[in-house]
Amino acid sequence: MSDVWGLPEKAHRVLQAAAVEAYGRPGMYVTMNEVMHRANISDQEEFQTIAQYLEGKGWITEAGPDYTIFVLTEDGIERAMD
């Protein structure tokens, strides 16, 4: 997945959007629709690919089906602030 053009940049944008939705607190559930809107991503499949990447990095967890809801980890919050 990491060879997909622009994936790390888009993943960081999604992570930042999710951190805002979680009010900067790890362990808070966020929803796909709100994060997609905030990150300006309209393609659900693209979002799911990004979410899989983030989960593989350990930056999100407790993902629901198709990443409709998930939780940011403490590492994910810290990475979003980079």
Residue-wise pLDDT for 3-44, tens only, equals 455 678 899 999 999 999 999 999 999 999 999 999 999 999
Residue type, 67: Y
User: Tokens standing for 71?
Assistant: 């939780």
Residue 2: the pLDDT is: 42
User: pTM score, two decimals?
Assistant: 0.87
Residue 1: the pLDDT is: 41
Residue 9: the pLDDT is: 87
Specify whether the CB–CB gap between 57 and 1 falls below 8 A.
no
Residue 5: the pLDDT is: 56
Scan for tokens 């407790």, then name that residue. 62
Give CA–CA dist 21/16, Å, rounded: 9
Whether 53 has a pLDDT exceeding 80, the answer reads: yes
